[in-house]
Structure 1
C-alpha cells in the first residue's frame, strides 16, 4: 500500500515540475516567435 502512495507522490511531483518548466521556459521562445512573425508581416 505504501508503494502506491510513493508512486502517486512521484507522479504528482513530476507533473508539477514539468508544468513549472513549461511555464518558465515558454515565454522567451514565444516572444522570439512573435517578433519573427511581426517582422515577416511587415
Structure 2
C-alpha cells in the first residue's frame, strides 16, 4: 500500500510527489491512520 507522508487533504499538490510516498503493509498503514473499515460510533 502506498502511504502519503503529507496527507492529500493537507496538500493536494504533493499527491504524486515521490518524496511524499512510502510503501507500507496494510497493518502498518492502519497503525498510522487507524482502521477505517470499522464504523465510527
Is TM (by shorter chain) over 0.5? no
Specify the structure having the higher radius of gyration (Cα).
1
TM-score (norm 2): 0.16
Higher helix residue share: 1
TM-score (norm 1): 0.16
Q: Which gives a bigger RCO, structure 1 or 2 (Cα 8 Å, sep 6+)?
A: 2
